[in-house]
């Protein structure tokens, strides 16, 4: 390449177009500057400089927005078109570089450095490159490139290497930046290398397009063939009067529109194929249809968007539940971790406590706070493993397990799923449902939970599982190991009053059609209902009593006897009958051998009167009241210890060989067991043997050993609250339980006296009324 000469001529900026030397191009011109440049070129020697602008959206490009290297062309033809548009045909002559812009108005005129290819006899290397270009171009044409076979033969006759490269580039290079790159290659060998590289890329793209089109064509042919065959089958079945295919088609259409996992889609397609091939009247048809409907009814890929805001969650919990501050704090912490990790992996929360304290409702509040669907299943009495994992389809009447059924009911893959009454699971010869739950609650396994009925993996990893229980001791060990126990304690009388006022009474009034001003119950009356008509840890009985009041009030208002009802204490017997519970008066003369113990049950705390009678005999010991093995052992341990200290505490010399003991705990129809009555029975035995009554307003709890040590027990909060409700104002308990007193409401602690003991000798110093002269 050598510098030919310097010249100036009109310039036209091309948008989205470019022209190579030896190339003929037709294009439309509409800009005023461009039309003016064409007119000036026609008045001169019909030569015009064409260069591509860098931004095709630019209507009036500045000189620095136009490529510096372009093509000098000869104008062959100009036609005026409608709408002030000029159509021009040009032929490229040679390359040129714009040195400077001479004029910019009314059109562009530039001073050019014109280049013309100067070639001698091509050497062997250039000849090889020219042949290679022609061969690749022939492959390009045979692969479907936009060129004719005649063009290949024409190219082989071109002797100029530069011209060959330009002609091939014009036919094969599609991208404008690559075409400009070839135009700017003033060196012929470099130009041929660039053309070869770009043509090779275009050839690979063409071959890839052909493979894709061939694959698509085969798929279309296959689909057309299947469609044709299905239509033939439909026509045949229609002629035979068979209409089962309509439902099959509906199921297939549903499956096609759903975003099913690959394994599930393959399974559904397989079962649909089996269904389509079955003869009419086959009994298995309905079973297959039911199975496919079950699979398609599940919420595959459907998720609700979590809306976890801790302030909102706290407000929801406070609005829907009174008290339970520690429980709410733990729940908010759980939600905070979920907000940060976006994962439900972690401990399974188990809400444990007596009935009616709000375990199920607080789980529903968690779903409300997270903006998730809520689903609950009760596990009480579940004995069959198939209730969890489902039945295999080989059984008649097989259905999925309760986990998959719950997921179908929720309509999403990430609900809050409550497993209620998990402590009441059973097991028998049909399997162990507690063991089946291990996979459900294990975040490392439940991402591919396989129900026996579905036979495909179902993802439970985004489900927030919660559980409830009354007695955590009844939960199987491996299952309890996967849970974090959150105890929901019983409510005080004041708690019940506030819950009734804020939640229970408005709910029951609405349920019975009573407006806000139709029934009035003062807090003092609510307190009387809680004291005299309920004696439970929760508030279910309180709600039942309020429902009874609302029914009576609704009857009076509906009968026209009054427009509103105000309930007073003196009216309680009329509305609710005689008081169910009367506070046990512990005043007056106390009987020897009677001690008030404290017990914990799955329904809350309770007082436990213990009676001991000592009489002449042969040293026999009688235990009555349906006592369990643990309580019997405590009684025998207490007797053995008392025998060792008998002389020191003035036990009669006849004991034990000359006296019989009868230990009885009233309400004999109710089974009783546990380690909490040790010191209570020991105290009652000492009281009966010495004839000294225990002081009034006093109760006790704690286990005793053969050496008289007092051991810690559980359920302190519930026991203290039960004792307070019965009028007890002093409690003796193990010193190791001193920290548990902090869980008792402050309002109750302030009215009670607690004695903490480490040895039974300390108990004896506290319990007996001192005789005159002592």
Per-residue confidence band for 587, with pLDDT thresholds at 50, 70 and 90: very low
Q: Which residues make up each annotated binding site?
A: 353-360
Cβ-contact 116, 21 below 8 angstroms: no
Burial of 711 (0-12, 13-18, 19+ CB in 10 A): middle
Residue 601 corresponds to which tokens in the numbers above? 């049950």
Secondary structure of residue 694 in the 3-state scheme: strand
Strands, E, within 705-746: which ranges?
Answer: 710-711, 730-734
Query: Please, what's the largest Cα pairwise distance for the chain?
Result: 148
Q: Which of 374, 404, 413 minimizes the C-alpha distance to 386?
A: 404
pLDDT of residue 774 exceeding 70, the answer is no
232/227 Cα distance (integer angstroms): 9
Cβ-contact 597, 609 below 8 angstroms: yes
Residue 497 corresponds to which tokens in the numbers above? 């009053």
| CATH entry, 310-487, from 3.30.460.20, 3.40.50.300, 3.50.50.60, 3.90.550.10 | 3.40.50.300
CATH class of 594-767: alpha beta
The proportion of the chain whose per-residue pLDDT surpasses 90, expressed as a percent, equals: 9
Domain coordinates of the chain in residue numbers?
2-116, 242-297, 310-487, 493-576, 594-767
Question: Which entry of 365, 676, 680, 687 is annotated as an active-site residue?
Answer: 676
Q: Which of 115, 116, 117, 96 minimizes the C-alpha distance to 10?
A: 96
Measured between alpha carbons, how far apart are the two ends of the chain, in Å?
133
As a whole number, mean pLDDT of residues 317-336 equals 83
68 belongs to the catalytic site: no
461/440 Cα distance (integer angstroms): 9
Q: Which of 118, 117, 169, 114 minimizes the C-alpha distance to 140?
A: 169
Q: Which residues make up each annotated binding site for ATP?
A: 353-360
pLDDT of residue 126: 81
Secondary structure of residue 21 in the 3-state scheme: coil
210-240 per-position pLDDT tens digit:
888 878 877 777 778 777 776 776 676 666 6
Per-residue confidence band for 588, with pLDDT thresholds at 50, 70 and 90: very low
pLDDT of residue 240: 61
pLDDT of residue 454 exceeding 80, the answer is yes
Helix (H) or strand (E) holding 72, with range, is strand 69-81
DSSP state of 493: H
Per-residue confidence band for 586, with pLDDT thresholds at 50, 70 and 90: very low
Q: Which of 38-52, 521-535, 598-612 has the lowest mean pLDDT?
A: 598-612
> How many beta carbons lie within 10 A of that of residue 467, not counting itself?
27
pLDDT of residue 148: 61
pLDDT of residue 150: 67
pLDDT of residue 29: 87
Q: Is 485 left (phi over 0), alpha (psi -120 to 50) or beta?
A: beta
9/20 Cα distance (integer angstroms): 18
106 cis-preceded (ω within 30 degrees of 0): yes
Residue 60 corresponds to which tokens in the numbers above? 């009036």
Question: Which entry of 373, 496, 672, 719 is annotated as an active-site residue?
Answer: 719
pLDDT of residue 589 exceeding 60, the answer is no
Q: Which of 164-178, 399-413, 633-647 has the lowest mean pLDDT?
A: 164-178
Secondary structure of residue 140 in the 3-state scheme: helix
676 belongs to the catalytic site: yes
**Considering the entire predicted model, what is its pTM?**
0.59
pLDDT of residue 313: 83
As a whole number, mean pLDDT of residues 657-663 equals 88
Please count the CA atoms within 13 angstroms of the CA of 531 that sit on its side-chain side.
Answer: 16
pLDDT of residue 145 exceeding 80, the answer is no
534 cis-preceded (ω within 30 degrees of 0): no
As a whole number, mean pLDDT of residues 42-68 equals 86
- For 543-552, b/e burial (b = at least 16 CB within 10 A) is bebbbbbbeb
Higher pLDDT, 420 or 4: 420
Please count the CA atoms within 13 angstroms of the CA of 431 that sit on its side-chain side.
Answer: 14
pLDDT of residue 316 exceeding 80, the answer is yes
As a whole number, mean pLDDT of residues 71-80 equals 88
460-510 per-position pLDDT tens digit:
888 888 999 888 878 888 888 888 888 887 777 778 888 888 888 999 999
Q: Which of 116-120, 140-144, 521-525, 600-604 has the lowest mean pLDDT?
A: 600-604
> CA dist 670 to 381, 541, 594, 626, 666, Å?
21, 20, 19, 7, 9
Please count the CA atoms within 13 angstroms of the CA of 654 that sit on its side-chain side.
Answer: 13
Per-residue confidence band for 279, with pLDDT thresholds at 50, 70 and 90: low
As a whole number, mean pLDDT of residues 408-424 equals 90
Secondary structure of residue 643 in the 3-state scheme: helix
150/142 Cα distance (integer angstroms): 12
Please calculate the CA angle 564-569-573 and round it to the nearest 5 degrees.
90
> How many beta carbons lie within 10 A of that of residue 505, not counting itself?
22
> CA dist 622 to 629, 660, 685, Å?
14, 8, 12
CATH topology of domain 2-116: 2.30.130
pLDDT of residue 387: 86
Q: Which of 30, 96, 26, 22 minimizes the C-alpha distance to 66?
A: 96
Residue 254 corresponds to which tokens in the numbers above? 């549903």
CATH number of 493-576: 1.10.8.60
Long-range CB pairs of 438-445 (<8 Å, 24+ gap) are: 438/478, 438/479, 438/482, 440/388, 440/403, 440/465, 441/348, 441/465, 441/479, 441/482, 441/483, 442/482, 443/344, 443/345, 443/346
């Amino acid at each position: 390449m050598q510098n030919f000469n310097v010249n100036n001529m009109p310039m036209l900026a091309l948008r989205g177009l470019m022209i190579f030397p030896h190339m003929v191009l037709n294009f439309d011109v509409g800009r005023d500057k461009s039309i003016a440049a064409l007119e000036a070129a026609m008045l001169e020697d019909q030569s015009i400089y064409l260069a591509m602008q860098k931004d095709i959206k630019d209507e009036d490009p500045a000189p620095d927005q136009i490529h510096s290297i372009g093509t000098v062309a000869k104008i062959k033809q100009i036609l005026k078109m409608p709408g002030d548009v000029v159509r021009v045909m040009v032929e490229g002559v040679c390359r040129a570089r714009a040195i400077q812009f001479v004029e910019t108005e009314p059109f562009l005129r530039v001073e050019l450095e014109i280049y013309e290819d100067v070639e001698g006899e091509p050497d062997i290397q250039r000849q090889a490159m020219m042949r290679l270009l022609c061969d690749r171009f022939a492959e390009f044409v045979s692969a479907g490139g936009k060129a004719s076979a005649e063009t290949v033969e024409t190219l082989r006759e071109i002797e100029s290497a530069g011209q060959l490269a330009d002609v091939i580039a014009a036919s094969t290079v599609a991208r404008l930046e690559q075409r400009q790159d070839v135009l700017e290659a003033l060196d012929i060998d470099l130009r041929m290398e660039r053309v070869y590289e770009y043509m090779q890329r275009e050839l690979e793209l063409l071959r890839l397009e052909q493979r894709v089109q061939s694959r698509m064509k085969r798929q279309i042919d296959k689909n057309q063939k299947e469609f044709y065959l299905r239509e033939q089958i439909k026509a045949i079945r229609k002629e035979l009067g068979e209409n089962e295919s309509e439902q099959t088609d509906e199921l297939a259409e549903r499956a096609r529109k759903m975003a099913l996992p690959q394994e599930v889609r393959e399974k559904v397609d397989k079962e649909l194929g089996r269904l389509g091939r079955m003869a009419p009247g086959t009994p298995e048809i309905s079973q297959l249809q039911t199975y496919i409907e079950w699979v398609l009814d599940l919420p595959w890929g459907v998720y609700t968007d979590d809306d976890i805001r801790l302030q909102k969650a706290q407000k929801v919990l406070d609005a829907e539940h009174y008290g339970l501050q520690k429980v709410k704090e733990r729940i908010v912490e759980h939600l905070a971790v979920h907000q940060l990790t976006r994962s439900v992996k972690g401990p399974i929360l188990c809400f444990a406590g007596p009935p009616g304290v709000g375990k199920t409702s607080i789980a529903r509040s968690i779903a409300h706070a997270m903006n998730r669907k809520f689903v609950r299943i009760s596990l009480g009495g579940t004995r069959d493993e198939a209730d969890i994992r489902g039945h295999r389809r080989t059984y008649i009447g097989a259905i999925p397990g309760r986990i998959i059924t719950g997921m179908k009911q929720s309509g999403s893959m990430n609900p809050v799923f409550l497993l209620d009454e998990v402590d009441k699971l059973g097991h028998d010869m049909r399997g162990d449902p507690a063991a089946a739950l291990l996979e459900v609650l294990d975040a490392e396994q439940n991402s591919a939970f396989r129900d026996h009925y579905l036979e495909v993996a179902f993802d439970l990893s985004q489900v927030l599982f919660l559980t409830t229980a009354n007695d955590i001791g009844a939960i199987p060990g491996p299952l309890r190991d996967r849970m974090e126990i959150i105890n929901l304690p019983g409510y005080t009388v004041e708690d019940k009053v506030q819950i009734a006022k804020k939640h229970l009474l408005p709910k029951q009034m609405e349920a019975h059609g009573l407006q806000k001003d139709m029934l009035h119950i003062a807090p003092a009356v609510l307190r009387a209902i809680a004291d005299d008509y309920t004696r439970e840890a929760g508030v279910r009985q309180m709600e039942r009593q309020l429902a009874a009041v609302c029914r009576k009030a609704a009857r009076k208002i509906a009968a026209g006897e009054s427009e509103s009802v105000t309930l007073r204490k003196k009216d309680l017997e009329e509305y609710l009958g005689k008081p169910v519970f009367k506070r046990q008066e512990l005043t007056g003369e106390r009987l020897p051998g009677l001690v008030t113990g404290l017990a914990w049950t799955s329904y809350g705390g309770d007082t436990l009167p213990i009676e001991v009678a000592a009489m002449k005999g042969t040293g026999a010991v009688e235990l009555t009241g349906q006592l369990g093995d643990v309580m019997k052992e405590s009684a025998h341990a207490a007797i053995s210890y008392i025998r060792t200290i008998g002389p020191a505490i003035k036990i009669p010399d006849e004991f034990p060989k000359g006296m019989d003991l009868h230990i009885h705990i009233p309400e004999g129809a109710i089974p009783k067991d546990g380690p909490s009555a040790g010191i209570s029975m020991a105290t009652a035995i000492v009281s009966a043997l010495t004839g000294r009554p225990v002081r009034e307003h006093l109760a006790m709890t704690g286990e005793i050993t053969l050496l008289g040590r007092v051991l810690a027990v559980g359920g302190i909060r519930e026991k203290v609250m039960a004792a307070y409700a019965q009028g007890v104002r002093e409690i003796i308990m193990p010193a190791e339980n001193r920290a548990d007193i902090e869980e008792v409401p402050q309002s109750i602690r302030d009215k009670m006296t607690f004695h903490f003991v480490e040895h039974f000798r300390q108990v004896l110093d506290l319990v007996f009324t001192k005789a005159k002269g002592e």
